[in-house]
């Protein structure tokens, strides 16, 4: 009799052995399972495996249980902790509390200050300009104060000087009226007219105005502008001399009276014996052709 053990579903009745069939299936399925486990372990995954390879002779439940008890729970190399995954928030500067604490412990570099030379120079120039402006202002104030003090001293000196003793023809002096004023010295610089107006300003603090012309026309011009004009000499007045009087030129001559002693009149004048732009002092004798413009 022939024992037919051909594999497959089509076998003769009564010749099927279930135990042999199970052993055969175990042997053929063991190799692919082990290969798959090794592949997964090599790639770092965790695979549950059996210590004892599956085979037809190891299908004893007790032996399988004992083998499973001694087998490791995981197959594959030990791996280090994976680094913290980068997220969209970390890319824009957000960090978890732990990362922030670690970053704060790291010493931050001190900022480096770069000096702007141009800005420094501009600031220094502005500071120097401000200091110069303050100094100029203080100097101008000191000069103005000195001029006021000089005018006050000149006025006191002229009004209280003993040289103002009057002669018999000068026993009464008319009261002076105030006329028009000018904001500047309107005469020609360097001439006797400019010098007389400058002395008036130094004494009174303003320039008289309201008339123009050569020196010989000043008496009538000042009278028209509201000032008192007299033939009696007086300090704090402008003397007007007609052409040829006391050496006057063809257009006349003017000066500032500083003292009167009888018929002797002391004046300070520009563009006379000292020439243009220069003052000199002389005493003239009162005579016809002389008139005086009084300061109020």
Instruction: Supply the DSSP string of 45-65, one letter for each residue.
Output: --B---SSPP-GGG--HHHHH
Strand-pair partners of 292: 230, 239
Residues 172 and 281 in one domain: yes
Write the pLDDT tens digit of every residue in 77-114: 555 555 555 555 566 665 566 666 666 666 667 777 77
- Whole-prediction pTM value? 0.47
Instruction: Supply the DSSP string of 158-225, one letter for each residue.
Output: HHH-GGG---GGGS--PPP----EESS--SPTTSHHHHHHHHHHHHHSSEE-S--S-GGGHHHHHHHT
**Which of the two residues, 13 and 254, has the higher pLDDT score?**
254
CATH of residue 264's domain is 3.90.1720.10
Examine residue 202 and state whether it is found in any structural domain, yes or no. Answer: yes
- Is 275 in a helix, a strand, or coil? coil
- Residue located via tokens 């570099």: 109
Chain-centre distance for alpha carbon 129 = 13
Examine residue 223 and state whether it is found in any structural domain, yes or no. Answer: yes
For the chain, what is the mean pLDDT?
A: 75
How many domains in the chain?
2
Residue 119: pLDDT band with limits 50, 70, 90 = confident
Write the pLDDT tens digit of every residue in 157-210: 555 543 444 433 444 556 789 999 999 999 999 999 999 999 999 999 999 999
| Whether the predicted pLDDT of 22 surpasses 60 | yes
Examine residue 6 and state whether it is found in any structural domain, yes or no. Answer: no
Examine residue 108 and state whether it is found in any structural domain, yes or no. Answer: no
Examine residue 200 and state whether it is found in any structural domain, yes or no. Answer: yes
> 183 — phi, psi (to 5°)?
-85, -5
Residues 167 and 290 in one domain: yes
Examine residue 133 and state whether it is found in any structural domain, yes or no. Answer: no
Residue 139: pLDDT band with limits 50, 70, 90 = confident
Examine residue 224 and state whether it is found in any structural domain, yes or no. Answer: yes
Write the pLDDT tens digit of every residue in 24-53: 766 665 555 555 555 555 555 444 444 444
190 is in which domain, residue-wise?
Answer: 162-294
Mean predicted confidence (pLDDT) in 141-150: 78
Boundary-marking domain end, from 70, 97, 112: 70
Examine residue 65 and state whether it is found in any structural domain, yes or no. Answer: yes
Boundary-marking domain end, from 29, 53, 70: 70
């Amino acid at each position: 009799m022939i024992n037919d053990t051909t594999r497959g579903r089509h076998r003769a009745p009564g010749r099927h052995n279930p135990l042999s069939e199970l052993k055969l299936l175990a042997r053929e399925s063991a190799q692919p399972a082990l290969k798959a486990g090794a592949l997964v372990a090599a790639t770092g995954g965790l695979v549950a495996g059996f210590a004892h390879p599956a085979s037809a002779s190891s299908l004893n439940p007790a032996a399988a249980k004992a083998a499973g008890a001694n087998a490791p729970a995981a197959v594959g190399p030990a791996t280090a902790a994976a680094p913290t995954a980068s997220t969209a928030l970390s890319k824009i500067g957000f960090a978890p509390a732990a990362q922030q604490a670690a970053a704060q412990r790291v010493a931050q570099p001190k900022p480096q200050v770069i000096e702007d030379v141009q800005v420094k120079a501009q600031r220094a120039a502005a500071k120097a300009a401000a200091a110069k402006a303050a100094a100029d202002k203080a100097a101008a104030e000191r000069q103005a104060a000195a001029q006021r003090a000089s005018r006050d001293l000149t006025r006191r000196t002229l009004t209280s000087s003993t040289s103002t003793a009057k002669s018999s023809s000068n026993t009464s002096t008319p009261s002076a009226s105030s006329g028009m004023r000018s904001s500047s010295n309107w005469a020609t610089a360097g001439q006797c007219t400019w010098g007389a107006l400058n002395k008036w300003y130094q004494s009174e603090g303003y320039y008289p105005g309201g008339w123009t012309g050569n020196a010989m026309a000043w008496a009538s011009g000042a009278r028209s502008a509201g000032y008192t004009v007299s033939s009696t000499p007086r300090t704090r007045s402008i003397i007007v001399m007609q052409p040829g009087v006391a050496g006057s030129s063809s257009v006349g001559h003017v000066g500032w009276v500083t003292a009167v002693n009888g018929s002797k009149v002391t004046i300070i004048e520009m563009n006379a014996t000292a020439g243009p732009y220069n003052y000199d002092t002389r005493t003239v004798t009162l005579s016809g052709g002389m008139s005086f413009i009084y300061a109020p």
